[in-house]
Amino acid sequence: MSDTTSATRSSRRAAALAGALAIALWGSLALLSTSVRRLPPLQVLASTFAVAALLGGARIARRGRGGLRALRQPLAGWLLGVGGLFGYHALYFYALSAAPPVQVSLIAYLWPLLIVLLSAALPGGRLRARHVVGSLLGLAGVWAVLTAGDTGSLSAAHAPGYLAALGCALLWSAYSVLQRRFAEVPAEALAGTCAATAALGLAGHLALERTVVPTAGEALGLLALGLGPLGAAFFAWDHATKHGDLPLLGVLSYAAPVLSTLLLCLAGRAEASPQLFAACALVTAGGLAATARSAPRPRPGREDDWLH
């Protein structure tokens, strides 16, 4: 194996681990969000992304005088970053206010499958059967856990919320896939993106909401959200989508809602059910299907070459 091939595989593994970290942190989002549900959503968005911006600022400060150069990126990069982070969360909060949350989640969680499909359009991209099978199994797992209760029937009155949820799926999948075009931009640039997202959230909060002073517990919840699922997770996802296997990341992303439900059960905020265990099995099967590789064929005259 050449040094270049070995380095490429090592980089892919590091990116996959970064993606797994982001997904694990997103699994804690629902549990942590229960501590701030009294606060207006745009106030939460502005506060948590301000914390994320400070986290990115700390990363830049560690690089010394040259750290600020990390904020430089093309205008298209800024538009993609702010559009992805602010646009997704603004649409998601609106969807939750206009349609039942379970139906919103079912629609919004089409984004992992869309990542698998859209990644095939990238230069050198290729849609593999194992990724499609894995993503469909993951999608089935998400549906199993989210439909454990009564989801209700679709209603035309909730159409704006459904469209907003679909917009979430399209926007986040496009953001994740298009990140590959800005692979040379360091993750520290997200500090500026998070600051812009926080500023837009603050403007929306001041225009549309009434400020609620958080309690000490709510302040800790905001801090935890900003450092974890709405902070470090985005920096990890940035590295993963720029340097990793996008279809595989899409399949693995289905673990987030299942992990979220498991954490809620452990915290006593939800009850375990057969559907939850079925969802875990389906998501695990999807991950195994997506990572399964057939043994390479030995080259003529080197029947044992594949062992090396």
Residue 238: the pLDDT is 94
Residue 26: the pLDDT is 92
pTM of the model: 0.82
Residues of the chain with pLDDT under 50: 294-308
Residue 2: the pLDDT is 57
Residue 276: the pLDDT is 74
Q: Residue 298: what are its φ and ψ, rounded to 5°? A: -65, 145
Pair 192, 59: CB distance under 8 Å? no
Residue 3: the pLDDT is 58
Residue 133: the pLDDT is 87
**How deeply is 133 buried, as exposed, middle or buried, from its count of CB atoms within 10 A (0-12, 13-18, 19+)?**
middle
**How deeply is 105 buried, as exposed, middle or buried, from its count of CB atoms within 10 A (0-12, 13-18, 19+)?**
buried
Q: How far apart are the first and last CA of the chain?
A: 8
Assigned token pair, 249: 């990341």
Residue 202: the pLDDT is 96
